[in-house]
Amino acid sequence: MGRRGVAVAVVLSLACAAGAAGCYWKAGTVRRESAWMLARASAQADEYASSFDGKYADEELSILAQRRDLFDRAVLWQRFQDVLVLGAVAFAFATYGLYLAGTVTPVEGFVPVPYEPPPPAREPEQAATL
């Protein structure tokens, strides 16, 4: 695999990191939108408290549904961000592992020694007579 595997792992790690940054930016956009909607809802709540008109209550319920949708979108983007951060870290470890595997060189003249099992254990009575 060598250098090509390391290069692919680096590219995938950087792509996951860039995707996580994009998800963070998108979640921030959704958060700002939600903050604006919260300020709007607070202003309408103040108007409702001063007038007790039923139309403000209906608007408040519709804004609540819109905020719930925004919250669901923000959670989705944050989940994508978490998965992409984990992917970036996993590919970074894979890059390092592939790099280390590529640097291992066999020792010249090394001959592995064949495995020899240990001799069988002696019987207890033979051990006592020795």
Cα(51)–Cα(66) distance, integer angstroms: 24
For residues 52-61, average pLDDT: 73
Q: Which residue has the higher pLDDT, 93 or 105?
A: 93
Whether 123 maps to a domain, the answer reads no
pLDDT at residue number 130: 57
CB of 95 within 8 A of CB of 13?
Answer: yes
Decide if 41 is inside a domain: yes
Say which residues have a Cβ less than 8 Å from residue 71's Cβ, sequence separation at least 6. 34
* pTM of the predicted protein model: 0.65
Average pLDDT over residues 46-59: 74
- Count how many domains the chain has: 1
Average pLDDT over residues 106-126: 77
Residue 112 placed within a domain: no
Asked if residue 45 is part of any domain, the answer here is: yes
Q: Which domain holds residue 23?
A: 2-103
Higher pLDDT, residue 123 or 115: 115
CA 26 – CA 64 distance, rounded (Å): 21
Angle CA 103–109–112, to nearest 5: 85
Residue 120 in any domain: the answer is no
- pLDDT at 16 (0 to 100): 95
